[in-house]
Structure 1
Amino acid sequence: MDCVFCREEGGDVLWQDDTLRVVLADEHDYPGFCRVIWNEHVAEFSELDAAGRDRVMKVVYAVECAMRRVLQPAKVNLASLGNQVPHVHWHVIPRFSNDAHFPLPIWAPRQRTVSEAMLSSRRAQATLLREAVRHEIGQALA
């Protein structure tokens, strides 16, 4: 099976250990969009043991906390779909009332155009996520 998350990191690695990694995804309209990816190829969350499931959710929680602190979005969307990439991963997506799709999901039809200046400003803020994510994960896993 050819799996993109087995073959590639999936983005800029902000944090990783033996079981998981957190990456900053390259999503033009969504600076700060992160993925929490299980390192080993596992298709379904229910295939993980209790400790693995708990670890994933602690890291998702920590990424959301870091994102809220650094980016101050109107909302954070959490999604674990896996229809196109059947490998355990969670999307942690900062949402703003003036983002391209709000209030709809980011995969819905675009609602508006967002200026490059606004996106550039959000990208600059997102550079602060690396340290914030590491700090929050350290707290969550302690």
Structure 2
Amino acid sequence: MSARTFTPDRVNADGSTTIRMKRACNGCGQLLGDVDNRDVDKDGNLTDVRGECSFCAPIVALEAAGCRTWNLTRRNLNIVDDATDADGLFAKGYFEYVDDKLVVTGLRIGQGETRQVAKFGDWIVRHPDRTWTVHHAPEGEAADA
């Protein structure tokens, strides 16, 4: 697959701005470059471009290898917690102070020194051998959804 062009915005003589529509990764939202023909399939649906994203490409490879993945959000926190429980692995919400309030910001998986913390926006990976790992979002990219 060829690299995408990334056309910068251009300010015109009349003060208006000409832009080229950009494609964002459907995994993490990172801008990948200009929209082109590969972004829509024959039925008009947006294609999965996570494989083009430097952050999400390893997740795509893990899924192809049989791993189950979750992009951790507030909405699926309990679903991921239940999945870890089903594997006999302890998990609970991870809390931090934000603006002087104690709020849940992710999920703590495991106990003791081997525990891992996944924040909202990180990918949680369940490997076929029932081990669990966290693929952390790039700094400043964490989702709050």
**Radius of gyration: which is bigger?**
2
- TM-score bracket for the superposition, by shorter chain length: under 0.3
Per the normalisation by structure 2, the TM-score is 0.27
Of Structure 1 and Structure 2, the greater helix share is in 1
Bigger relative contact order, structure 1 or 2, given CA contacts below 8 A and separation 6+? 1
Per the normalisation by structure 1, the TM-score is 0.28
